[in-house]
Amino acid sequence: MLQGTTRVSRGQVWLKYASNRSALLGIVILSFFIILAVLAPIIARHAPFRIVAKGLQPPNLAYPMGTDDLGRDILSGFLFGSRVSISVGLTAALFSIAIGILVGSVSGFLGGSIDDLFMRGTDFFIMLPRFFLAMFLATIFGTEIYITIVIIGVLSWPGTARLVRSRFLSLKEKEFVQSARAIGASNFLLIFREILPNAISPAIVNGSLEVGNAILLEAGLSFLGFGDPNNPSWGFMLSIAQHFLSIAWWMAVFPGIGIFLTILAANLVGEGINEMTEPKSREWRRGGPIGKQTT
């Protein structure tokens, strides 16, 4: 039961195979939703969030996801809502990867007081509960969709920056960097040509997880009432559904499944990449992809 070496290998091989497959599944699901979101205006049979029929109809042929309390087609709402959720998720991932890599690499490479300053800042934002920060910022700056995207983006990159910086710190003194420096490579080249390609994998993994986090954050904000009523998302639909739970379960089930599947997909991709690029033995020190980097 407790492993001798062969048992460990078999378990680990299985794990690698399963994680490759699950990462693939995650990519498939995400692509599916992205396609749905892009094609929404074409495939939706009715205008979203416009009253088209009798309210509170359970799923039927004309309205496969039913209608809500006002008589709006939920399927169309689902399709258009996906655009909000997914654009938020992808933007956050972009912010996370782009800004996170930039800040993390420069900070980790230069070290000293610049590093100190940046890390104090990022630590501050990593420590504070992200959801409450987002709520606070939304209270101050408003709930328009663009503001929400910026807020979530700004809250997404500190984690990646930390991870990238860690990598830079450990790679900075290695021989290949020293030799490049010896032949006269500039700092810019050192950062972006030499070290970065080796430091990028945690950024990618974290970026993928940030997609899930961002979608969840946006859904939660909308659920509580910080959503943009002009661009309703899945979370927004759930907040309305809350009031009609006893008589219209379909109002809550479908948007919820949407949120769940996209988050699941993002996590699958992130974990899959993590399994493929990191040796298993290092996992616990980083607390795995779900945990927080502490160094």
Partner 1 sequence: MEEMIKDQDTSLRKYVLRRVLQAIPLVIAVIVFTFMMIHLFPGDIIYLIAGEGGSAEYYDFMRHAYGLDKPIYDQFVIYLTKILQGDLGNSLYFNQPVVTVVGERIPATLLLMISQFTIASILGVLLGLLAASRPGSKTDGSVIVLSLFWYSIPVFWSGQMLLYVFSLRLGLFPTEGMVSLTGDVSGFGYVLSVLRHLALPAVSLALHNVALLARVTRSSALEALREDYIVTALAKGVKERTIVFTHAFRNALLPVTTIIGLHLGVLFTGAVLTETVFSWPGIGRLTYDSISRRDYPVLIGIFIVVAVSVIIANLLTDILYAKLDPRVRYK
Positions touching partner 1 (CB under 8 A) are 1-3, 7-8, 10-12, 14-15, 18, 22, 124, 127-133, 135-137, 139-142, 212, 216, 219-220, 223-226, 238, 241-242, 245-246, 249, 252-253, 256, 259-260, 263-264, 267-268, 271, 281, 283-285, 287-288, 290-292, 294
Number of other CB atoms surrounding residue 148 within 10 Å? 28
Question: Which distant-in-sequence residues (6+ apart) come within 8 Å of 186 by Cβ?
Answer: none
Rounded (5°) CA angle 139-141-144: 95
Task: Report in angstroms how near the CB of residue 18 gets to partner 1 at its nearest.
Answer: 7
- Give whichever of 177 and 214 is closer to partner 1, judged by the CB atom: 214
Q: Tell the smallest beta-carbon distance from residue 104 to partner 1 (Å).
A: 20
Q: How far is the CB of 130 from partner 1 (least distance, A)?
A: 7
Cβ 196 to partner 1 shortest distance, Å: 28
Q: Angle, to 10 degrees, between the axis of helix 145-171 and the axis of helix 130-141?
A: 140
Query: Minimum distance from CB of 186 to partner 1 (Å)?
Result: 35
111 or 291: CB nearest partner 1: 291
Which residues share a beta bridge with 67? Answer: 73
Q: Half-sphere exposure of residue 25, counting CA atoms within 13 Å on the CB side?
A: 14
Decide if 256 contacts 262 (C-beta within 8 A): no
C-beta closer to partner 1: residue 188 or 284? 284
C-beta pairs of 112-120 under 8 Å, 24+ apart in sequence:
115/165, 118/161, 118/165, 119/162, 119/165
**Least distance (Å) between residue 26 CB and partner 1:** 10
Question: b vs e for 230-268, b when ≥16 Cβ sit within 10 Å of the residue's Cβ?
Answer: ebbbbbbbbbbbeebeeebebbbbbbbebbeebbbbbbb
Q: Which two tokens stand for residue 117?
A: 């300053």
Closest distance between partner 1 and the C-beta of residue 190, in Å?
29
Q: Between residues 41 and 142, which has the closer beta carbon with respect to partner 1?
A: 142
Q: Which is nearer to partner 1, 145 or 191 (CB)?
A: 145
Smallest separation, CB 241 to partner 1 (Å)? 7
- d(CA 27, CA 29) in angstroms, rounded, equals 6
The Cα–Cα gap between 214 and 72 comes to: 27
In terms of CB distance, is 105 or 233 closer to partner 1? 233
The residue among 111 and 225 lying less far from partner 1, judged by its C-beta, is 225
The three-class DSSP label of residue 73 is strand
How far apart are alpha carbons 64 and 87 in whole angstroms? 25
Looking up tokens 């939703």 gives 33
**Residues 37 and 78: beta-carbon distance below 8 Å:** no
Tell me whether residue 23 or residue 75 sits nearer to partner 1 (CB atom).
23
Please compute, for residue 3, the number of CA atoms within 13 A of its CA located in the half-sphere on the CB side.
8
